[in-house]
Structure 1
Amino acid sequence: MALWDRLKESAQTMQAQLEAKRNDLKSGAFRDASMAMCALVAAADGTIDPAERRRVAHLITNNEVLRNFPAADLQRRFDAHLETLTADFELGRVSVMQEVAKARKKPAEARAVIQIGIVIGGADGDFDATERTVVRDACYALDLAPHEFDL
């Protein structure tokens, strides 16, 4: 099986697992951590390409699990995290990663945040090394083992 096919299958599996847990993923900590994760993945290489920003915003508003929250609220939070990352990437990355870490208290939510990062990162068919690194770092922030997610 080609790498592209494995990546696509993995992202689809993660999305299906998220949808199965949808009713359990309604807390503010999950919402905030998910938007922080989306911003980190979108800016993983240190730049925020407008096309990628639009693509991730589109994925957020069309994700079944994230429909538990108002789309405008999610967009506002995502944009705020991107602004933090744009102002000073290294300092912003620390701040946004702290937001991700807030989901640590509930293991199901923590795993879901990582799965969202993988789904967002793999949506374009290229879950590149910088995106994988960001998601791996988020695993550490959430006290999860990266190998559980093949990272």
Structure 2
Amino acid sequence: MALWDRLKESASTMQTQLMAKKNELTNGAFRDASMAMCALVAAADGTIDPAERQRVAQLIATNDVLRNFAADDLQRRFEANLDKLTADFAFGKVSVMQEIAKARKKPAEARAVIQIGIVIGGADGDFDKTEQAVVREACYTLDLPPHEFDL
């Protein structure tokens, strides 16, 4: 199977798994960690262009699992995390990882945050090495084995 097909299949599988847990994913720690993960994946290469920013914002707004939260609140949190990352990527990454770590206490939420990162990273059909690397790093932050997610 081609890499492209595997990426599409993996993102689709992750989205299906997230939908199965939608009703469990309603607290603030999950919300904050998810928006931090979205920003981290979007800025994985250290920069984010306006088109990518808009694409990820659109994915957040249309993701069924994230509809448990107000869209404007999610957008505000996503933008705040992106601002930290674009101002100073290394320093911002520390802050964003602290947000991601909020989901560590609940394994189902921690896995869902990683799955959201994979869905966001694979949405454009290219879950590239830098995106994989930041999601793998988030796995360690959440005390999850990266191999569980084929990372």
Partner of 1:6: 6
Partners of 2:85 and 2:5 in 1: CA distance: 31
CA deviation after TM superposition for structure 1 residue 103, in Å: 0.3
Please list every run of 5 or more consecutive structure 2 residues that lacks an aligned counterpart in the other structure: none
Partner of 1:70: 70
CA deviation after TM superposition for structure 1 residue 56, in Å: 0.3
Partner of 2:125: 125
Partner of 1:43: 43
SS at match of 1:130: helix
Partner of 2:148: 148
Partners of 1:141 and 1:3 in 2: CA distance: 27
Partner of 1:34: 34
Query: What letter matches 1:61 in structure 2?
Result: A
Identity level (%): 81
SS at match of 1:103: coil
CA deviation after TM superposition for structure 1 residue 86, in Å: 1.2
Query: What letter matches 1:24 in structure 2?
Result: E
Q: Deviations over 1:58-107 (max 9, x none)?
A: 00000000000000000000000000111111000011011000100000
Query: What letter matches 2:29 in structure 1?
Result: A
CA deviation after TM superposition for structure 1 residue 2, in Å: 1.1
Q: Deviations over 1:10-61 (max 9, x none)?
A: 0000000000000000010000000000000000000011110000000000
Partners of 1:143 and 1:79 in 2: CA distance: 26
Question: How many residues align structurally?
Answer: 151
Query: What letter matches 1:142 in structure 2?
Result: L
Query: What letter matches 2:92 in structure 1?
Result: G
Partners of 1:93 and 1:13 in 2: CA distance: 28
Two-structure CA RMSD over aligned residues (Å): 0.4
Moved over 2 A (4+): none
Partners of 2:62 and 2:73 in 1: CA distance: 14
SS at match of 1:47: coil
Q: TM-score, normalised by structure 2?
A: 0.99
Q: TM-score, normalised by structure 1?
A: 0.99
Partners of 1:107 and 1:81 in 2: CA distance: 23
